[in-house]
Chains A and B, each alone.
Chain A
Amino acid sequence: MQLATPLPLSPEPSTDNESAREVKLKQYQLENLSRQARRVPGPVILAAAVVAFIAWDFVPSWFAIGWGMVVAAAVFVRAGYSRRPLSMTSESIQKRLHHMVLLSLLNGSVAGIGSAYLFTQLPADRQTLLTMIVVGWTAGAVSANAAYARAFFAYTLVLLTPLAIVWALQGTQGIGIAALLMLFLAIESGFVSDNQRVFRQSFSIRYENEQLIEQLERQRQEILHEKDRAETANLAKSRFLAAASHDIRQPLHTIGLYSAALSLRKTDERSQELARQISLAVGSLASLLDSLLDISKLDAAAVVPEVATFELGALTARLMDEVGPVANEKGLALSDRVAPDLFVHTDAMLLERIVRNLLDNAVKYTPRGSVALRAFSRGGMVIVEVADTGIGIPPKEQCRIYEEFYQLGNSARDRSQGLGLGLAIVHRLAKLLDITLTLKSQEGAGSTFALSLPLAPRPRIPRSTQVPAEFADAASMQGLRVLVIDDEISIRTGMQALLESWGLHVTLAWDTTSSLALAQQGMDLVIADYRLRDSETGLDVIRSLRRQHGTLAAMVISGDTAPERIHELKEENIRLLHKPVAQTALRQAIVEVVGGA
C-alpha cells in the first residue's frame, strides 16, 4: 500500500490531552505550509513588480523599487525560515506555525500598506488596475494557505484591508468598492474553510490507513514469532526424543540378554513358551520404538544423507531376498524387473529403507495376488516402482496415508500391524533425499508407488581398482576338466568353488589312488598341492597319472621356495605356483598350461 504523500514521522505529544493524532496533523499542516511558502516568492514578486510598474510614473523610482525589494525580502525571509531544521516536538511545531503566521502577517502588511499608499498617488484608472492586481494577489493566497487557515487570514486581512480603507476614504462610490472588497474577502474565507476541511479529511484518511498498516505489521510479526516458537518447541521435542532414544533402548536390550540366557537353559515346554512370548513382546516393542524414534530423528533433522553414486541392481536384489520369504508365506507372487546399469547418486541406505518400507507395505496390504518391484530409466530419470494387487487406497485417503499413525482398515488399532509409521518415514526420507514420490491406486485392484530420481552418469573406476578386461580366454576355460588334489578337504572344496565359478569342471582327489581312479573320466589339467599326506608329494601323483594317461597338463602349488623344487618340477614340465597365489595368477597359469606350455 503506497500513500501519495507519506505522512511525516510521528512526533511526540507534549501533553496527555493532545493525542498523537492531533500533533501529527499540525505537523502535516506545517509541512504543507512550508512547502507553499517556498513556492510563493515567484508569483508574489511578479505581482509586486506589476504594482510598482503601474505606479512608476507617479512615485519616485527609489520608492517603487525600494518597496518591491522589501516585499521580496519579506517573502524570502518567510521561505527561508520555513527551511530551518525542526525538532519533532509538539511545542516546536506549534511555535513554528505561530511564527509562520506572524511572517504571513508581516508579508501581508508590507504588501498591503505599501500598495495602499501607492494607490493614493495614482489617478482613477490606475487605481482600478492596482485593485485588480491586489485582488488577484489575495486569490493566490487561498491555495497557498489551504493547510492552515490562520495564515491566510493573517496575510489577506492586512493585504486587503488598507486598500479597502483608502477606497472608502474616496467617497460614496469608494465605500461601495470597499464593501465589495470585503465581500470578496468573505467569499474567499469560505473557500479557505472548505479547503481546510478537505485537507483535514485527507489527513484523516491517510492517518487511519497508516495506523491500519502498522497494526497489520505488528500482528504479522506476532504470528511469525509464534510460528517460530512452535517450530522450536517441535524441534526441541524431536531432538530430545532422538537423543533419549539411546537411553530408552537400554532396558530393552538388557531384556534381550536375559532372554538369550533363558533360552540356553533346559526348561519345560510351558516355560519355553513363556520365554518365547516375552521375547516376541520385546521384539514388538523394540520395533515400535524404532519407528517412533526414526521419525523423530528425521524431524529433528538429525539424519544426514551420505550420497554416493551406485548401481541399483545390488540394492533391489538384496530387498528381493529379504521380502521373498514373507511373500511366499502369504502365497504372493513376488517378481522384480530391474534394468541393468541404473546408476543413481543418493544415500544408498536411506533409499533402501524407502523401498523396503514400500515393499513391506505392499506385502502387508495384499491378501492375494502379486507384488512387483520394477526399475527403469526414462527421460534422464530412474523410476522405481512397487506395485501390488492389494486392497488399494480410496482417492480421499490417498493424501492421508503419509500421516503418522495413519493406517487403512485398522480402526481396531491392532498393534501387531505396526504403528502406521512406515509411509510417514518414506515420505520424510523421500523429501530429505529430494526424490519424487507418486501413487496410483484403485480400491480393490491394487496400488503402485513410484519413486523418481535423476539418473547418474556411470562412474569412472580409477585405474588402481580397475577390473581387468574380460579375459579373452574365458571361452577356452569353459568346460575344462580339472583334477584338484589336496589332502585337506576344506582346501579341495574351496578350490572347487573357485574353479567352478570360472566355468571349469572340477573333480577332487587326495592321493595317488583316488587320483588314478577319478582321472579315468578324462582330465585336461591337474592342480596339486605339493605336500600331501604320508610324505606323498603332488609330484608323485602327477608322475603316476602321466604314466597312466600320457602327457597331462599339470601344475603344483607350493609354499616351498627351495630351488631344488623349482628345478625338479621344471624338469618334468610342471608349472609351479608359489603361495600366495593371486586369483589372476592362478587363472593365467591355467590358461598358459592348458594352452600348450
Chain B
Amino acid sequence: MNLLVVDDHTLFRQGLKFLLRDLDEHLNISEAADCQKAIELRGQPFDLILLDLHMPGTVGLDALAAMKETFEISRIVVLSGEEDPRQVRRAIEKGAMGFVPKSSSPEVLLSALQIVLAGSIYLPPLALKDLQSEPAPANGTEKHSRSHDAHLLGNLLSPRQLEVLHKAIAGKSNKLIARELDISEGTVKAHLAASFVALGVHNRTEAVYVAARLGLQIKD
C-alpha cells in the first residue's frame, strides 16, 4: 500500500512512519511537511493519505479540500490534536474517511492505526457518541434497530449498490465513482439514495458514522 503522511512536525512524522512500519513492513510511506509539498507529489498513486489538519499556511479544513482535489482517488484520514466531535463531523463532511486524534493514548493510537490500515473507518469514541451523528430512527425503537451487523448490508443491498456505497464512504466524488464504474452520475446518485435508506441515514457523513460503528471494511 502507498501511504502519504502530511504533517508539519518532523518529530511526529518520523514517529508515525516508524510505528506504521512496525504495523506493516510492506507499506510504502512518503512524507510531506505541508500542503504545498504534498501537492507537488501530485500524480503519485497514494492509497491512503494521513493528513494533519493544523499546519502553517492553511486554515482548518482547507488543507483537506486541497488534498481531495489533488488526490481524488486516495482515501484521506485526518490526524488532529483536537478531539472535538464537531471538528470530526466537519472533517467527514469534507470528505475524510476517518479521524485519528493525536492525543489518544498509545493503545488507542495503535488500534486506530490498525483499523485504518485494514481499510476500516476509525472515529474517536467521543465523536461516535455525538448526538447529531445518530441517524434518524426509522421507527420508535432505539438502540437495537441501529446495531446492524456489517453483513446485514449485504443482505439489504445489491453488490453494485454496495460498491458505490463503499466508494462514496472512501471519499470519492459521484463523478469519479461514475467514471470508475462506467455508469452515469445519475445512477450513482440513485444507488447511494437506496443505500442511505437501507442504512437509515440521510447522507454520506452519517453513512460514514454508521459504517464506523459497524466496523465495515471499505473496499474501493
Q: Residues of A with Cβ closer than 8 Å to B?
A: 245-246, 249-254, 256-264, 279, 283, 286, 290, 306, 310, 314-315, 318, 348-349, 465, 467-468, 470-471, 474, 486, 488, 490-491, 493-495, 497-498, 500-502, 529, 557, 559, 579-584, 587
Contact = CB atoms under 8 A, between A and B. Distances in A.
Contact of B110 (A254, A263, A290): A263
Interface in B129-183: 129, 131, 136-141, 143-145, 147-152, 154-159, 161
Contacts of B143: 501
B39 interface: no
A486 B155 contact: yes
A253 B81 contact: yes
B19 A261 contact: yes
A494 B156 CA distance: 11
B158 A580 contact: yes
A583 B110 contact: no
A261 B158 contact: no
B94 interface: no
Interface string B40-51: 000000000000
Given A254-B9, A498-B144, A579 B139 contact: no
A264 B23 CA distance: 8
Contacts, number: 149
A579 to B, nearest CB: 6
A581 B19 contact: no
Given A253-B102, A261-B18, A501-B145, A580 B139 contact: no
A471 B103 CA distance: 45
Contacts of A251: 11
Contacts of B159: 559
B155 A497 contact: no
A529 B15 CA distance: 49
Nearest to A581: B156
A104 to B, nearest CB: 80
Contacts of B81: 245-246, 249-250, 253
Given A318-B129, A584-B138, A579 B157 contact: yes
Nearest to A259: B106
Contact of B102 (A249, A315, A470): A249
A279 B155 CA distance: 44
Interface stretch (B29-37, B63-71, B115-123, B197-205): B197-205
A250 B9 contact: yes
Given A257-B12, A260-B107, A580 B157 contact: yes
Contact of A256 (B106, B137, B149, B161): B106
Contacts of B109: 256-257, 260
A253 B83 CA distance: 13
A468 B141 CA distance: 11
A583 B158 contact: no
B54 interface: yes
A241 to B, nearest CB: 14
B61 interface: no
Contact of B195 (A306, A470, A580): A580
B110 A559 contact: no
B18 A257 contact: yes
B18 to A, nearest CB: 6
Contacts of A256: 102-106, 109
B154 to A, nearest CB: 7
Contact of B149 (A262, A286, A493, A502): A493
A556 to B, nearest CB: 12
A497 B107 contact: no
15 contacts: A249-B81, A253-B81, A254-B11, A260-B109, A262-B106, A290-B103, A467-B137, A490-B151, A491-B152, A493-B149, A498-B144, A500-B144, A580-B198, A582-B156, A584-B139
A344 B15 CA distance: 44
Contacts of B161: 580
Contacts of B141: 501-502
Given A257-B19, A491-B155, A498 B148 contact: yes
B18 A587 contact: no
B84 interface: yes
B219 interface: no
B129 to A, nearest CB: 6
A167 to B, nearest CB: 102
B75 to A, nearest CB: 21
B95 interface: no
Contacts of B151: 488, 490-491, 494
B136 A467 contact: yes
Contacts of B144: 497-498, 500-501
A493 B12 CA distance: 42
Contact of A246 (B54, B84, B149, B202): B54
B105 A465 contact: no
Nearest to B194: A580
Nearest to A251: B11
Contacts of A500: 144
